[in-house]
Structure 1
Amino acid sequence: MSDHDKSLWLKTCREHVVDHPLNGDLTVDLAVIGGGYSGCTAALTAAQAGASVCLLEAQDIGHGGSGRNVGLANAGLWLPPEDIRAHLGKQAGDRLIDLLAAAPADVFDLIERYGIDCDPVRNGTLHCAHSASGLKDLQRRHAQLSATGAPVKLLPADQATQRTGSAAFHGALFDPRAGTIQPLSYVRGLARAAAEAGARIVTQCPVQSMQYDNGQWVLKTPHGLVRAKSVIQGTNAYHQGLQATATDYVPVYYFQFFTAPLSDNLRASILPGGEGCWDTGLVMTSFRMDAEGRLIIGGMGDLGQAGRTVHAAWCRRKLAELFPQLSGQSLTEGWHGRIAMTSDHIPKITQIGPNALSAHGYSGRGIGPGTVFGRLMVESLLQDDPDLLPVPAVPEYRESWTGLRRAYFETGATLMHLIKARL
């Protein structure tokens, strides 16, 4: 079941991309597969560097997770710094930590530089402690982030209440580096800027096969062949076809509903500072305001499965629990997206062939990392320098029991929401 047409981001997107259909064969320096954050940033970076570029998107720009997410432009990954170093080692870990600490600045700089109309609000984010154990987790994160020089601040319960408008939290971790955007407008703005820089944007054009022949890649599509010296694949959790270069991940689903624009009084009582929020719950909840004063609330779960009714009922109850002043407020429709989760929650870059890279596994942190990874993959290919990559490339990446683990996450989210909806 597809509910992409119910997305608030689709309804309110003000950025438009003029694409150029592929009619026959084309030869370029770089072919980009996938029109999400990584792909569009890669196309923009390469075009600005003077390379000829063709971006091929099977659907529309932002059709996948880039156009469906919460719109929090966060710094870093889900993992705290010590966990990143434990997985990557100190040198590689510190490099990734530093790169992603600056990711929100990269995002907001691109928005300003190219005039992307995506409602940017850089007032920070709040990671909210849903319990006493959640507060202990935030204390650990605060200590580790502060040690890296991050300007984060741990807020006590009364300040968390003041900042969110909800008395449900034991405290919150405030990160002033981050902010919120209209995520579909951002990715379409990147594609528009790439096209203005000379990149050819082709939508509704899935890549059916690709092979390396005589020093160049040959990509077959329903509308012609694209030959390229280099390839970047940024399909992430919305990989379509091309099984030879499909990447392994655990699919995790996340849904969102939204209210009608709130009255001025209600709007002043909820997130008056405009931060974006998520909590420390194992089955996470997020909430934020959009530019028109709609409250957007989301949680883990697949609205395309039998649990849709359960997830929707939980969402209504959760809204009233967090904000009693909104009890009885109706929620408008709802949509969901798919997240590519890796076991260690660290994004991967795969060397899928000569001069060909694929990135995936942002684990729910697509905006900042996707932007950074797209840019650095291009710089690495153009300069023939693998040390420029944000993480070392691997020849392949495999996950085990992905289908079983997907069922585990969805069943857990559904059961949790069923129990909470009935309390």
Structure 2
Amino acid sequence: MITGQSHGLWGATASLPPPTLRLADESVVDVAIVGAGYTGLSTALHLGQRGVSTVVVEANEIGSGAAGRASGMVNAGLWVMPAALREALGPVYGRRMLNLLRYSPRTVFDIIEKYDIQCEAKRVGTIHCAAGRKGVAEIEERARQWQALGAPIHILSRDETAAKTGTKAFALSLLDLRAGTIQPLSYVRGLANVAIACGAQVFTHSPVETIIRDRGNWRLKTQGGSILAKWVLLSTDVYTAGIAPELRAGQVVLPFFHVATAPLSPDLRHSILPEGHGAWDTRTPMTAFRKDDAGRLIIGSVGALRGTGTIIHRSWARRRIRALFPQLGKVELEHAWYGRIGTTSDHLPRLHALGDNMIALTGFNGRGIAPGTLFGRELAGYIVGDTAADELFLPFSPAEEAPLRALKEGYYELGAQVAHLPPLN
């Protein structure tokens, strides 16, 4: 359920979702999609445009998983640099993925503009800030690799970075003009509205309990009804429960939290990210920061707001805000929330075939908005036969258990708390 604790500022300010019902009878369709996030709803939208009968079934509410909790930065590419992506995927898939993702934010903003989705969209770019000497080297290399591919990437000097961010904490930064920001929960709800308008059915509060073969098709059973479909797309990522445990087991969960201040005064609001950019730095753990339309400052980092983490991370956020933006003085934190990011060993997504005509896409590694929307379009093309399996953006791979998964997850949650403790005097 979407509450203030689960979705914070986004839940409080998002546009209303489309009216939906629980699945209560049998639906017979071409495609069943499990999960109402970016990828699931984008796939449904693009299938609907082709006249393919589609049902999206969601265990909770639209955007209740990672899609509704994200920072809302619409970035191009993935976390890894282009050269690392090519090395991991090989020359064919590496080139294909880079070509696909190079201008992926355009897909998001074009959908927003075409269908008039009200989600505080700002197509002004994002800023990746260099922290320390190592961060400077990382930013310079990242810029070099993207510029070699013709991307509109610019290195900003210390003074230019300070002018665009409002903080003097960084030696330089990378401005990516392809990117931007959105209100993520409003965007995913807008996708649902568009998918429904294109003919898809969306059912919420209808967790799938079993998926079985039935006369050459797939039958998805919920407590209240069932769906008989030729194709199934599982788009639940690390929020998968029960039906395909291998999808959750194949990833290491990284907790990520956000806090948001009360709306800043007009003068202070203009002193921070005056052009509306979203930003993050190269620190470990990272700091992400942006504003919403009401002038609230939003700051996020690795960590879970539970147990001792609640106090530690909120206190860190106040200190970090003071360090970055001393002009603010003492600030009031109005909202706080956190969620889970599914990570893979090489920081690349995974495409799985779990049976005949049953596929799953996982492992967005914190880059779900633009890639998720774009991958949904590509998966729709594959399902209808426009794209062959060997023409997809990723090869199909088996779902495998992530090594030392539980140990790593505990380490990340505890390690984030240690990293966010106040320094010893």
Deviation of 1:244 after TM superposition, in Å, equals: 5.2
2:398 corresponds to which residue? 395
2:54 corresponds to which residue? 53
The superposition leaves residues 114-159 of structure 1 with CA deviations (integer Å, 9 ceiling, x where unpaired) of 1111010000000001112101110111111111111101111111
After TM superposition, the structure 1 = structure 2 runs for residues 205-354 of structure 1, keeping only pairs within 5 Å, are 205-243=206-244, 246-247=247-248, 248-354=250-356
Distance 2:41 2:106 in 1: 17
User: Does the 8 Å contact 1:85/1:94 carry over to 2?
Assistant: yes
Distance 1:333 1:201 in 2: 29
Counterpart secondary structure, 2:378: helix
1:86 corresponds to which residue? 87
The superposition leaves residues 37-68 of structure 1 with CA deviations (integer Å, 9 ceiling, x where unpaired) of 01110111111110111100000000000000
Counterpart secondary structure, 2:420: helix
User: Does the 8 Å contact 1:127/1:172 carry over to 2?
Assistant: yes
User: Does the 8 Å contact 1:58/1:240 carry over to 2?
Assistant: no
Residue 54 to residue 262, structure 1, CA distance change in 2 (3 Å): same
User: Does the 8 Å contact 1:286/1:299 carry over to 2?
Assistant: yes
Residue 227 to residue 4, structure 1, CA distance change in 2 (3 Å): farther
User: Does the 8 Å contact 1:142/1:154 carry over to 2?
Assistant: yes
2:166 corresponds to which residue? 165
Distance 2:54 2:244 in 1: 23
Normalising by the residue count of structure 2, what TM-score does the alignment of the two structures yield?
Answer: 0.96
2:156 corresponds to which residue? 155
Deviation of 1:214 after TM superposition, in Å, equals: 2.4
Counterpart secondary structure, 1:109: helix
Counterpart secondary structure, 1:145: helix
Deviation of 1:4 after TM superposition, in Å, equals: 3.9
Q: What 5-or-longer segments of structure 2 have no aligned partner? A: none
Q: Which moved more, 1:376-385 or 1:317-326?
A: 376-385
User: Does the 8 Å contact 1:40/1:190 carry over to 2?
Assistant: yes
1:122 corresponds to which residue? 123
User: Does the 8 Å contact 1:123/1:273 carry over to 2?
Assistant: yes
User: Does the 8 Å contact 2:122/2:180 carry over to 1?
Assistant: yes
Distance 1:409 1:257 in 2: 19
> Does residue 24 of structure 1 match 2:15?
no
Distance 1:189 1:406 in 2: 33
Distance 1:135 1:59 in 2: 42
User: Does the 8 Å contact 2:247/2:399 carry over to 1?
Assistant: no
2:203 corresponds to which residue? 202
Deviation of 1:388 after TM superposition, in Å, equals: 4.0
Distance 1:418 1:192 in 2: 43
Q: How many residues align?
A: 422
Distance 1:185 1:195 in 2: 15
Counterpart secondary structure, 1:7: helix
Q: What 5-or-longer segments of structure 1 have no aligned partner? A: none
Distance 2:226 2:84 in 1: 43
Distance 2:176 2:36 in 1: 29
Alignment RMSD: 1.5
Counterpart secondary structure, 1:307: helix
Residue 409 to residue 5, structure 1, CA distance change in 2 (3 Å): closer
Distance 1:127 1:272 in 2: 16
Counterpart secondary structure, 1:89: helix
Deviation of 1:350 after TM superposition, in Å, equals: 0.6
1:406 corresponds to which residue? 409
User: Does the 8 Å contact 1:245/1:352 carry over to 2?
Assistant: no
User: Does the 8 Å contact 2:238/2:247 carry over to 1?
Assistant: no
Deviation of 1:232 after TM superposition, in Å, equals: 0.6
Return the letter of the residue paired with 2:157: P
User: Does the 8 Å contact 2:246/2:400 carry over to 1?
Assistant: no
2:378 corresponds to which residue? 376
Deviation of 1:208 after TM superposition, in Å, equals: 0.4
Q: Which moved more, 1:327-336 or 1:223-232?
A: 327-336
Counterpart secondary structure, 2:121: coil
1:44 corresponds to which residue? 45
Deviation of 1:319 after TM superposition, in Å, equals: 0.3
Return the letter of the residue paired with 1:261: P
Q: Which moved more, 1:75-84 or 1:327-336?
A: 327-336
